[in-house]
Amino acid sequence: MLLDRAREAGCNVQRSRVMSVDTSAPKPRYCVEGDWQEADFLVLAAGARNQLVPESRALQRDELE
């Protein structure tokens, strides 16, 4: 529902695997299939611990149930 509302409001929904994110510039950039794109903002649906969020890491095998 939230994704549909965002699309209806004019957001560009990128349904690809984002390989890297750069937030060092005034506008964030993201890399999909080797192509860097700029955005006004990013909403990443990648989970709480992933490689795209600074100071986080993927869960280790012994941390899984």
pLDDT number for residue 54:
65
Q: What pLDDT tens digit does each residue of the chain (65 aa) get? A: 888 998 999 988 877 888 888 888 899 999 988 999 999 988 877 666 666 666 667 677 887 77
Q: What is the pLDDT of residue 16?
A: 82
Say what the alpha-carbon torsion angle 41, 25, 48, 55 is, to the nearest 10 degrees. -170
Q: What is the pLDDT of residue 27?
A: 93
pLDDT at position 35 is 93
